[in-house]
Chains A and B, each alone.
Chain A
Amino acid sequence: MMTQGFTLWFTGLSGSGKTTLSREMEGVLLERGMKVELLDGDVVRTNLSKGLGFSKGDRDTNILRIGFVCNLLTRNDVVAIAAAISPYEEIRQKNRQLIGRYVEVYCKCPLDILEERDVKGLYKKARLGEIKNFTGVSDPYEEPSNPEVIVETDKETVEQCVAKITRTLELLGYIPVIGNGAEYSAEEEEEIKRRLKALGYI
């Protein structure tokens, strides 16, 4: 089946689950027969954006470059997945406008929990002043105003987050529905029956 491309853009603070979820979603989309390319912010900084720093200007350039590549992929019917902190709303909106078929996933997690997790030890270094311009600590992060999906990674499991994103993509008509195409599970059908019977509708 021929499918159209789109961009799945993960935004959120460092350690909020963008890389994990983007890799999971890569698998889900490949299983559904889509052509997928993953652009991870950390990886992109070693090639496409090599040499750029963390000033506001450099950060914007980095995100716009990723957006540019995502747009090229999207218009060639590839699903582009971007996972980057992308802290500024204005720049995310620019990419949204450029790409069109754009789905934003906000990986939401409170800062205190991220600092507690601190898998890479970056928050500690930032607090000690060893890393400058660190988003959430010494640099701003602007929450998305209208993301298609919010995943609360301190409250939801990886599976729940993946299911939520997948569902949204199905509802948007961006990915094919798998299984028997039934809207409701057997359990849900029973609940609907119960409600309709109580009103005399069936």
Chain B
Amino acid sequence: MLGFLRKPKKRICVIGLDGVPYSLLRVLAADGTMPAMAELCAQGHLQPMKVTLPEISAVSWTSFMTGAGPGTHGIFGFIDLKPGSKETRFPSFRDVQVPTLWDRLGQKSKKSVVINQPSTYPARPIQGVLVSGFVALDLRKAVFPARLLPDLKRLNYETDIDTQRAREDHDYLIQSLHSTLEGQRSLVDLLWDREEWDYFQVVTTGTDRVQHYLWNAIADTTHPYHTVVRQYYRAVDRFIAEIVERYRQKAGREQGLTGLFLLSDHGFTAIKREFNLNAWLRQEGYQRLEQATEPTLQNLSPDSRAFALDPSRIYFNRKDRFRDGCVETAEVGNLTEEMSSQLLALRNEGEPVVREVFRCADIYSGPCVPHGPDLIVLTYSGYDTKGNLVKNDLFTETDLQGMHTWDDAFFWAGESVDGDLMITDLATRFERFLS
């Protein structure tokens, strides 16, 4: 007797490679460093993707996981202002104002396993498993459900490398990149079949770290770390290959690789100079630091009309926002125009620095827009915008080698996506796939 043929369960698997640019991935796939990626490119579609501004992981990953921009999810940077104040704070997962993709899938009784997702600390309950990524401090608060904690300890799982030590000691960087990748591999191995899931996601952040500290070593064959950096990308490629193979087996022949997706949260490029926004504001007369005080935002002179927060956010010292503000609401329009034209005219060694200046209200929408900055500065490739208050030079050197870009993230899928792809488009696409 013929039984009923059960349709295989639809599943999604997402691999996140933090900070890997589309342009670099194409090179590494083509030159043999990442053969599994090359195979995926042949079988599916690798395409560039834009991300929300500012192009940093805290914002980008939150935009990815909520399918919304900062005006809706409320995360504008790794650092933000306390309401009505110039005191700063570090937003956490609790500050995300809208449900994540996994929350929404959970409402439809779909289970998720999410490993090393940046900007989800402290972990909160989801239908399934969540292991927070950067800036997870304490593993006990980075894991839901708590029953997984002994497993993670047993696997010597680490949420991140010691970034300070890695910046100074590149041998340590390379060694710890491999050990954290190994931890992620072991966790995938443990949870893949043990947990029930409809959506499985793992993010590796080592790619971002190596690009910050050793970007030049990727292309420069004479660089002392060239070989070991390439070996790391090979290890990442093997990691991808293992997951792809697992997925093929789990999803079954009918589904193929249609539910497999890869992405990064921003691109990367080489740093030429850091561009210090607060130094520029002071030079142009928009900001003054009180003499003989510690240079903090609270110690700005009351007649300061603007200040900047990392990486590229300008806030007007508005009367309707800050107790000691001095900018009238009616002045905002003129101030925006004046400041934008000055920034666009800025040159360093004859070359333009600022590509565009966006008004927050023009690029964001949603209830959190009033909590965001007034302007976002987008620079040309190589100028890394900073909100450092102490530095007085407009352009400074740095030992960091790589900086983020907003229009060179990547997305890989079995099928191509028409038109410009934005990181906020993905959550809805995944939900639709599973519905």
Contacts and interface: CB of A to CB of B under 8 A. Distances in A.
Nearest to A144: B147
B422 to A, nearest CB: 23
A146 B78 CA distance: 33
Contact of A147 (B145, B163, B387): B145
A199 interface: yes
Contact of B78 (A167, A172, A183, A201): A201
A189 B94 CA distance: 15
B399 to A, nearest CB: 9
A183 B164 contact: no
B135 A171 contact: no
Interface string B301-313: 0000000001100
B147 A146 contact: yes
A202 B398 CA distance: 13
Contact of A195 (B94, B95, B163, B274): B163
A194 B209 CA distance: 15
B146 interface: yes
Contacts of B163: 194-195, 198-199
B125 to A, nearest CB: 6
A107 to B, nearest CB: 13
A198 B208 CA distance: 13
A188 B138 CA distance: 9
Interface string B74-93: 00001100000000011010
Nearest to A191: B137
Nearest to B402: A200
A195 B147 CA distance: 28
A194 B149 CA distance: 25
A171 B125 CA distance: 8
A183 B384 contact: no
B56 interface: yes
Give the size range of A's interface with the partner: 20 to 34
Contact of B137 (A167, A188, A201): A188
A195 B164 contact: yes
Contacts of A199: 163, 167, 208-209, 212, 400
A195 B311 contact: no
A194 B79 contact: no
B310 A201 contact: yes
A154 B280 CA distance: 59
A147 B147 contact: yes
Interface in B85-133: 89-90, 92, 94-95, 122, 124-125
A197 B164 contact: yes
B234 interface: no
Contacts of B146: 147-150, 164, 168
| 4 residue pairs, one from A and one from B, having the closest CB atoms | A198-B163, A198-B164, A183-B92, A200-B400
Given A182-B89, A191-B137, 14 more contacts: A150-B145, A150-B146, A150-B147, A171-B124, A184-B92, A192-B90, A192-B137, A194-B164, A195-B134, A195-B163, A199-B163, A199-B212, A202-B78, A202-B79
9 contacts: A146-B145, A146-B147, A148-B145, A168-B146, A172-B125, A183-B90, A184-B90, A192-B135, A198-B167
